[in-house]
Amino acid sequence: MPPNPNRPQIPNTQRIIQALSWIKRRLRIIFAAIRWLTLGLLGIFVEVFNFLRRQKRDRILAIVFLLISVAIIIGYYYFPGSYNFEGSIVAQGMSFTYIGQQEKLIFNTIRDIKNLDIQGRQPQALVLRGQFYSKSNPTLNQKLSQLKQLTVELPYATSRLILTPANLSKSELSILEFRLLRQSRVSQLVYEPKNNQMSLCLQAATLPPQICVFPEEFSDKLVLAEKTSLGSLKVQLGQEELIVSLAGINLPELGIRSVPDAYQELLLQFKPNIDEFLFSLLTPTYLSIKLPDPVKLNKSTANDAADWFRRDLEVSEVSFSRFDMNGYVKDELQISTILEGKLRMGAQMMDIQPEQFLIIPPGQKGVHKLRSIRINPQQGLQTLILGESNSIAVGLYPEFPVQTIKTTWLSKYLSQEAINALLAFIAAFTAILYPRLFPEPAQTTNVSQQHNQGGNP
């Protein structure tokens, strides 16, 4: 709508004057409020000062002591403090997010493994060099015998590559290193003593944990996540013959192409001429390792199981639990994986029983460092943890803890015995000083004398 030519226009100078006048009025109100508040506080201070001047010195000291005592008691019972805690936990499995600033070595060298199972997409094709043949498929064997190298493409989250030594007693298959980048989540790191097998699922920390179980349910979120590397896995093949199992893969030299929904396994034998492979780990990548025989490990110093995991991992969102699912993402049951453990916060200690949860209040830092992770061949993963929280608790249900260690801000400076002694001291002195603050009124006795000694009849 065009402006009305008959409407008077306000000059810019007049608008500035009006704005300055409005600011001046507001400042006058603000300064008046500040002056009123200052005079009020000053009046209160003067009244308190005059009251104290009229009191005796011991009464003033009693008031000061009681005020300090009240502050200590309120702070002890109503102001929790953050405290460091540590513990040793044996669990079937655990999950955590790596939050270190730099790429971190998670696995050291693990030699002579019995099986390596990798499931996930690879951004680049793998090139196997060596001799190939197939015992079960003569047609495929004829094609393989003419190849010196075989290109393997793993294009899907369900693509799978399994390497198994043909002679398990002469295995040279080894993991040289396993590295993680920041904000990589290790979901369900599990050790199974019965099968002597370790497994994990790697995913981006920003994605829901169910993505490792049902990747097809989150295909829309995987489009962007699959482009980001979470780490790397370096594998040594050795010179001994390997059995290679492939599924959901493309083999250009053989004219084999797979589709995402169809699972068809291809088995072949491979005598490698290439020594090492480097896998780029994307979301999600499932990794399963059948470890060397524990009896041989005890006799070997070059393949010590205590050195497999790197120490001092900076982590967050540590969980000793798993989700039991029946095929539906929304129908899940959280189960604790803890077998046993001990926790310590300050001078207090607490045991964790099988299937109890380690409960950290929301908003607390929680477990932020994994001192060490070791494999216990009889039970599972033995972990030393370090964390920070105002309380820790355990229970069969996260909503209903049965035992709690709770700290206060005084706990950082005094032991529990010293705190108990301080509270007893305050109680005793309060009983002594109370009569000085609130003395009983003097009883005046008016003795009416009836006349002089004896009174009038």
Residues 177 and 273 in one domain: yes
Looking at the domain assignment, is residue 451 inside a domain?
no
Q: What pLDDT does 384 receive? A: 96
Q: Percent of the chain beyond pLDDT 90?
A: 41
- E strand or H helix that includes residue 438: none
Burial 390-413 (b: 16+ CB within 10 A, else e): bbbbbbeebeebeeebbbbebbee
Judge contact between 401 and 105, C-beta under 8 A: no
Residues 135 and 156 in one domain: yes
pLDDT at 84 over 50: yes
Lowest mean pLDDT among 229-243, 265-279, 399-413, 438-452: 438-452
Higher pLDDT: 438 or 194? It is 194
Looking at the domain assignment, is residue 414 inside a domain?
no
Q: What pLDDT does 453 receive? A: 47
Nearest to residue 310, comparing CAs of 86, 93, 98, 112?
A: 98
Residues 255 and 353 in one domain: no
> CB count, 10 Å around CB of 11?
9
Distance CA 204, CA 284 (A): 8
Q: Mark which of 265, 293, 308 sits at the end of a domain.
A: 308
Higher pLDDT: 416 or 168? It is 168
Residues 287 and 298 in one domain: yes
Residues 67 and 28 in one domain: yes
Residues 157 and 228 in one domain: yes
State residue 56 phi and psi, 5-degree precision.
-75, 160
Question: Three-state SS for 268?
Answer: strand
- What would the pLDDT profile of 291-305 be if each residue is shown by its tens digit? 988 766 655 556 677
Q: Got the DSSP string for 114-126?
A: SEEEEES--SS-E
Q: What pLDDT does 54 receive? A: 54
Residues 275 and 351 in one domain: no
Q: What pLDDT does 449 receive? A: 46
Tell me the mean pLDDT in the region 138-162: 90
> CB count, 10 Å around CB of 140?
18
Looking at the domain assignment, is residue 213 inside a domain?
yes
pLDDT at 64 over 90: no
Q: Which two tokens stand for residue 256?
A: 């084999």
> CB count, 10 Å around CB of 132?
23
Q: How many domains does the chain have?
A: 3
- What would the pLDDT profile of 360-411 be if each residue is shown by its tens digit? 999 899 999 999 999 988 889 999 999 999 899 999 999 999 999 887 777 7
pLDDT at 73 over 60: yes
Residues 73 and 90 in one domain: no
Looking at the domain assignment, is residue 201 inside a domain?
yes
Continuous H helices in 376-445: 416-437
State residue 29 phi and psi, 5-degree precision.
-65, -40
Residues 220 and 235 in one domain: yes
Q: What pLDDT does 15 receive? A: 78
pLDDT band of residue 448 (cuts 50, 70, 90) is very low
Q: What pLDDT does 79 receive? A: 72
Looking at the domain assignment, is residue 439 inside a domain?
no
Residues 160 and 203 in one domain: yes
pLDDT band of residue 326 (cuts 50, 70, 90) is low
pLDDT band of residue 457 (cuts 50, 70, 90) is very low
Judge contact between 246 and 134, C-beta under 8 A: no
Distance CA 72, CA 150 (A): 75
Looking at the domain assignment, is residue 456 inside a domain?
no
pLDDT at 155 over 80: yes
> CB count, 10 Å around CB of 252?
12
Mean predicted lDDT score pLDDT of the chain? 82
Distance of CA 299 to the CA centre of its chain: 36
Higher pLDDT: 80 or 112? It is 112
Tell me the mean pLDDT in the region 225-249: 88
Tell me the mean pLDDT in the region 11-16: 75
Domain that includes residue 149, residue range: 109-308
Q: What pLDDT does 163 receive? A: 95
pLDDT band of residue 445 (cuts 50, 70, 90) is very low
Distance CA 186, CA 167 (A): 31
Sign of CA dihedral 134, 136, 140, 143: positive
Tell me the mean pLDDT in the region 179-200: 93
Looking at the domain assignment, is residue 337 inside a domain?
yes
Tell me the mean pLDDT in the region 128-145: 89
Q: What pLDDT does 209 receive? A: 74
Q: Percent of the chain beyond pLDDT 70?
A: 81
Q: What pLDDT does 243 receive? A: 94
Tell me the mean pLDDT in the region 90-114: 93
Residues 314 and 302 in one domain: no
Going from the C-alpha of 164 to that of each of 114, 116, 241, 261, 271, the distances in angstroms are: 6, 7, 9, 25, 12
pLDDT band of residue 80 (cuts 50, 70, 90) is confident
Q: Which two tokens stand for residue 336?
A: 């604790």
Question: Three-state SS for 404?
Answer: strand
pLDDT band of residue 114 (cuts 50, 70, 90) is very high
Tell me the mean pLDDT in the region 32-52: 75
Q: What pLDDT does 320 receive? A: 95
pLDDT band of residue 347 (cuts 50, 70, 90) is confident
The packing angle between helices 57-78 and 416-437, to 10°, is 140
Q: What pLDDT does 327 receive? A: 56
Q: Mark which of 308, 333, 352 sits at the end of a domain.
A: 308
Q: Tell me the range of 17-31, 107-121, 217-231, 425-439 where mean pLDDT is highest.
A: 107-121
Q: What pLDDT does 444 receive? A: 46
Q: What pLDDT does 329 receive? A: 52
Looking at the domain assignment, is residue 9 inside a domain?
no
Residues 114 and 235 in one domain: yes
Q: What pLDDT does 354 receive? A: 94
Q: Residue 98 carries which side chain, given as an amino acid letter?
A: Y
Q: What pLDDT does 150 receive? A: 92
Q: What pLDDT does 11 receive? A: 61
Q: Got the DSSP string for 13-34?
A: HHHHHHHHHHHHHHHHHHHHHH
Q: Which two tokens stand for residue 393?
A: 């608790």
